[in-house]
Structure 1
Amino acid sequence: LQEAYTQLPNFWLIIQIKDDCANVFFHRRNSTKVLTTVKAEHARMFVAIVENARSACRATNQILLLKELHDTHISRSLLIENPVEDIWKNPSYNHSS
């Protein structure tokens, strides 16, 4: 049993895919004994993995939406980027002196 335990990885990354989101879990074995520099590296890896997964999902969704646009000639609202709010028209930014 000890030999099997030593062959296991020191950390696990678990991604739970759902219909509308993905949950990402990170577990590190013996986390109290891990050096701070290793913890920081694991945190950087976690952030990079999540960002890459988000980017891949966005690209895949855009490709599927563009294919649908090509096939149906109907654009989904998801393909149209929301306009950036004009701060000059927002009353909370208008103040007189």
Structure 2
Amino acid sequence: MRNPAWQRDELILALDVYFRESYNKLGPTHPTIKELSYILNRLPIFSTELRNQTFRNPDGVYMKLGNFLAIDPDDARRGLPSYGKLDELVFREF
């Protein structure tokens, strides 16, 4: 079972971290990434039946920031290009 797609509110929280922190100093074990993972897991957006063990875990949160890196026109690094349309819409909005 796949985890549900990221929703707008989740993406805004992740984008906030992307803009506040230096991506190259982050990683799945960074306290900010762990905190965001914790917060995302407590949001009442999805029922527990729709979540698997990896739901918004630190690895997935860090990967989402890598998707934003791929969208960011001000950063020459490649990032993770498998981002979704909503990722790009939220990035461009903010």
Same fold (TM over 0.5): no
Larger radius of gyration: 1
Per the shorter chain, which TM-score range? under 0.3
Q: Larger strand proportion, structure 1 or 2?
A: 1
Q: Which has the higher contact order (CA 8 A, sep 6+)?
A: 2
TM-score for the superposition, normalised by structure 1: 0.27
TM-score (norm 2): 0.27
